Amino acid sequence: MIFDYETLKVIWWCFVGVLLIGFALTDGFDFGVGTLLPFLGKSDIERRIIINSIGPTWEGNQTWFITAGGAMFAAWPLVYAAAFSGFYIALMLVLFALFFRPVGFDYRGKIADPRWRSAWDWGLFVGGFVPPLIFGVAFGNLLLGVPFHYDNTMRMEYTGNFFGLLNPFGLLAGVVSVAMLVMHGAAFLQVKTEGVLAGRARKAATGAALLLVVAFILAGLWVAIGIDGYRIVTMPDSNSAFMPVAKTVERVSGAWLDNYHRWPLTWVLPLLAIGGALLCILFSALQRALAAFLASGTAVAGVILTAGVSMFPFVMPSSLEPNSSLTAWDAVASHKSLAIMFWVVVVFLPIIMLYTTWVYRVVRGKVTEQHINENEHSSY
């Protein structure tokens, strides 16, 4: 095989990260637009403009989420099993919230009753607001540690509950996630709309970006001085296959900053997150919509990369028994499986990215009231 097992483990960590960033950059602004829909659209025509800004592409964007889930199942089967056991209720809430999106887009325009359309607008809000909130809360709990462990027969046992996820740090992480994607959605609306609606989007982007910067800095300080991180003390050869309990893990204050001390260049990543958000505010004020959108995308990538570098190589730390924590070294599929899937990704990911680029080129341009009126039967 072209890569040894250890290298493939790192490559697949990066692949999953790329898929999550792709999901956040594309379907993320869909979530942001859905969250803003009832607040920025003051009339039915304005709300139709907002909906049609993402209408042609939201389904394609959502496939990034499906692909990321599939990659996790294939590359990190133990993580997939533990996550769907421990976060079952949270993930079901995400699923049911996502149900509002396809039916909301398809059914909203079927009846011209304001109450009917308003109800579906709030349904689209739920579909846009709830998933990023729960994703953020779940990730915050990963940094805190998840209450699970493996028994002597290697069966995973989860002892937590849904309400245990709603702790102060988890909720702060949820605020970071929601603010990040609302900023990204508002920046996208600046690109796709004009006039008064674009002006409201600029204000929304500014407010969300400021909230993101404050919440992100608070979360970073909390992680640095208020949360015990995880550190691998001993483990078998990373180029071999071994079970999670074969390693020794300790919880140490400040351990989530280990990788930043080991690779100082990674300090650029949180600076990208903060700088991207601040540039989004600046470019929004200057009415440079595309630049604001690119800046918000930089902030989104910076936040996710910051979190990823902080946790590496941990994927799901255990607060009950640290030695049971799942990492990139021990929660992975076999060497052969990772190698085969590597070539699948190398071939198909560029094709998907090229196709996505072509789609956005086809539907480029602003959505206007005139466009909605001239395409009454083909628009949402």
Residue 324 belongs to a domain: no
**Predicted confidence band at 355 (pLDDT cuts at 50, 70, 90)?**
confident
Say if residue 352's pLDDT is above 90. Answer: no
Q: What is the pLDDT of residue 152?
A: 81
Q: Which amino acid is at 376?
A: E
Contact, 233 vs 250, CB < 8 A?
Answer: yes
Domain count, the chain: 1
Residue 242 belongs to a domain: no
Tokens of 148: 């699970």
Residue 90 belongs to a domain: yes
Domain span at residue 270 reads: 8-225+260-309+336-374
Tokens of 255: 């351990």
Please state, for a pLDDT cut of 90, what percent of the chain lies above it.
69
Residue 201 belongs to a domain: yes
Contact, 28 vs 300, CB < 8 A?
Answer: yes
pLDDT tens, 37-88? 999 999 989 999 999 999 888 888 888 888 888 888 888 989 888 888 888 8
pLDDT tens, 241-267? 898 999 999 999 999 999 999 999 999
Residue 279 belongs to a domain: yes
* Distance from C-alpha of 21 to C-alpha of 16, rounded to nearest angstrom: 9
Higher pLDDT, 162 or 1: 162
pLDDT tens, 265-281? 999 999 999 999 999 99
Q: Is the pTM of this model over 0.85?
A: yes
Q: What is the pLDDT of residue 170?
A: 95
Report CA-CA distances (Å) from 326 to 8, 233, 295. Answer: 17, 14, 34
Residue 288 belongs to a domain: yes
pLDDT tens, 196-220? 999 999 999 999 999 999 999 999 9
| DSSP symbol at 320 | S
Residue 131 belongs to a domain: yes
List residues bridging with 94 in a β-sheet. none
Mean pLDDT of the chain: 91
Contact, 318 vs 145, CB < 8 A?
Answer: yes
Residue 171 belongs to a domain: yes
E strands of 89-238, at which residues?
148-150, 156-158, 228-234
* Distance from C-alpha of 184 to C-alpha of 189, rounded to nearest angstrom: 9
